[in-house]
Structure 1
Amino acid sequence: MTDSNKNFNILMDKETPKITNVNSRIFRVLSMLLDHFIMIFIIVPPLIMLIILGEIGILKISDMTFYVVFFSMIFIYINKDFINAKSPAKRILGYQVINLKTGKPANELQCFVRNLTICVAWPLEVIIGFINPERRIGDFIANTKVVISEKEKLKSIWTDLKSITLKLNFIGILIIGVIYFYGLSLILPNMN
């Protein structure tokens, strides 16, 4: 091996972890942003349609009905990791949320709890996700982390969705969700 090849190999051994770390940070933040755009694409059109139908008089919508629909959409956003601990973007980019203690996919309740911080600290979560691609604030609360996983097509959501059965976690998530959103409704003006 020539001196230039040795120098190149030494340089690559030193620089590859830095490049890999930067790429994992960028891909992790891209995953968060892609999830955000996908979920907004799912949530915003029904809300806009509801507002338009209410404004033109086709539907008579009270403020409370609108808030119930709005918070239901936010509930869907928060539960984006619900199916096999992978959100749509995590499936596309090859990530999965795992339980920190067991190393297995996080359960539905852990995925729900880790995403509760998104409603109040989304920009901060993105910054933390860039600093620490494996764990953001919600992961510390839920005792989870994000790891590299097999990439999947979005169609896999339907396959996984068909195999879901009612679990005790689902009831817990609904109860926590109602309490959480009721608390948020007390903070928002003009809801009562």
Structure 2
Amino acid sequence: MGLQKKKVNNNTRIRRVSSMFLDHLIISMSIIPLAIILAIFFDLIGLRLSEGKEFYAFFLMIFVYLNKDFFNSKSPAKRISGYQVINRRTKSPATELQCFVRNLTIFVAWPLEVVVGFMNPGRRIGDFIANTEVVESEKEKLKSIWTDLKSTTLKSNFIGILIIGGIYFYGLFLLLRIIN
């Protein structure tokens, strides 16, 4: 499972953008059942989503989406497609916090991220912010996520991710309430 330091070249534009769409599909299909379970749970304990609790369900679902690269700097689609997010400076796998920060732009500029990803397969807007890039790596099976999950220990990065994520989404939540 060695990390190849080969940048994604221009011939892989379609493959890279396809990987972005596949990630969106896989993660969304994982989040939808979670949303249904949360809605049922809130209903069973007497909390109505119209009472402002939708923020917590929304935050949890989006938190999962933003941390799609959390394990070994590879999202589900990156594993299948043979990509990995690396730190541009050190050329080592990006930290969990870098992966989280690079994904923050998805919710404010997803269509633009796809266009930039097509024009520059190795870096999208979030990569410029987090100082990361996407490189070709070994293809893996999806079940490799479970192996990574079992070997993961709680790191201080996780606390930073929770704090930044909480502030970011609480701000978006307040902005949406002001607009509506």
The two structures share one fold, judged by TM-score above 0.5: yes
- The residue that corresponds to 1:60 in the other structure is 46
Matching of residue 36 in structure 1 with residue 24 in structure 2: yes
Which blocks of at least 5 consecutive residues in structure 1 are unaligned? Answer: 1-19
Q: Find the residue that maps to 1:96 and give its secondary structure.
A: strand
The structure, 1 or 2, with the larger RCO (C-alpha pairs under 8 Å, 6+ apart) is 2
| Aligned partner (choices 68, 72, 94) of residue 80 of structure 1 | 68
Matching of residue 110 in structure 1 with residue 110 in structure 2: no
Which blocks of at least 5 consecutive residues in structure 2 are unaligned? Answer: 1-8
> What do residues 76-133 of structure 1 show as CA deviations (whole Å, max 9, x unaligned)?
0000000000000000000000000000000000000000000111111001000000
Q: Higher Cα Rg: structure 1 or 2?
A: 1
Question: 1:49 offset after TM fit, Å?
Answer: 4.6
Distance 2:128 2:77 in 1: 21
Question: 1:54 offset after TM fit, Å?
Answer: 7.9
The TM-score, its normalising length taken from structure 2, stands at 0.88
> Paired residues, what number?
170
Closer, same or farther: CA 41–83 of 1 in aligned 2, 3 Å: same
AA in 1 matched with 2:172: L
| Aligned partner (choices 150, 165, 169) of residue 162 of structure 1 | 150
Distance 1:179 1:31 in 2: 29
AA in 2 matched with 1:129: G
The answer (yes or no) to whether the contact 2:10–2:120 under 8 Å persists in 1 is no
Q: Find the residue that maps to 1:189 and give its secondary structure.
A: helix
The CA RMSD over aligned residues, in Å, is: 2.1
Closer, same or farther: CA 50–169 of 1 in aligned 2, 3 Å: closer
